[in-house]
Amino acid sequence: MVQRAVAGVILVAIASAVRVARVDQGDEYPADALTVIEAAAWLGTYLLVNLVVSSGITPLDRAASAFWITYAGIWLLPVAGVWVALCGRERPLLLVSIVMALGTLLSNKEYLGSTRYEWDPIVFGVLLMGVAVGVRRWLVSGEGEMRHGYTASRLLASDQSTLGSLAMVSAVHAEVPVAPAAPPVDPSIGGGGRSGGAGAGGSF
C-alpha cells in the first residue's frame, strides 16, 4: 500500500504539472500532446488504486484500513475525470475516464466479495444501453441538438469510418460453427460378405 501511495502521488504530481503547462500553451502545440500525457497519468493513478485490476484482492487486503479508501477512489477518480474533461473539453481524458468508470462497474462485485451470476453481463449490457440512450436524449433535447458544445451527431467522417472498421473486424473474427466431418469408415468392418450377408461370411 505504501508503494502504491507513493507511485500514485508521483502520477498525480505529473498530471498536475502537465495540466499547468498545457493551460499556459493554450490550444496550440504541444497542448494536445500534453493532454494525452495527462490522461495517461490519470489512468495510471486509477490502475494503482483499483486493487482488482492491478493485483487482485486477497483477504489480507480487505482487512487493511486502506482498503475502503481505494474502494472510494475507484468511484471518485472516474467521476472527477469526466467532470474535468467535460469542463475543459478534453477528449483523451474523457475517453480514459469512461474506461475507468467501466472498470469500476466490472470490479465492484469482486471488491465487495459478492457472488457472481451468469446474468451479470446481461445486466451490465442493459445498463450501458440505458446510459447511452439517456445521454443521447439529453444531448438531442438541447438547443441545436447540443449541450455545452457537445452533440450526439457525428461531425467527422473519420468517426464513421472508424465504426465501419470496427464492424468489419468483428465480422472477420466472428466464429462460424462448422459441422464436424464424418469419421472415415474402417474398410475391415462389413467387408468380404457373400450373398448380400453384409459381411456375415467374411473374415474379421
- CA-based nearest residue to 78, from 101, 54, 59, 110: 101
List pLDDT tens digits, range 37-68.
999 999 999 999 998 887 767 666 776 778 88
Measured distance CA(201)–CA(193) in Å, rounded: 5
Q: Report whether pLDDT(85) > 60.
A: yes
Q: Which helix (H) or strand (E) holds 146?
A: strand 146-147
User: According to the per-residue pLDDT averaged within each range, which of 16-25, 28-37, 95-104, 166-175 is highest?
Assistant: 95-104
| 58, 186, 188, 202 from 195: Cα distances, Å | 74, 21, 18, 11
List pLDDT tens digits, range 92-122.
888 999 999 999 988 888 888 878 778 888 8
pLDDT score recorded for residue 176: 46
pTM of structure? 0.64
| 63, 152, 175, 181 from 178: Cα distances, Å | 50, 40, 9, 9
Q: Report whether pLDDT(170) > 60.
A: no
The helix-helix angle for 91-112 and 120-140 (nearest 10°) equals: 150
Domains of the chain, residue spans: 1-115, 117-148
Measured distance CA(204)–CA(189) in Å, rounded: 7
Measured distance CA(187)–CA(174) in Å, rounded: 38
Q: Report whether pLDDT(173) > 50.
A: no
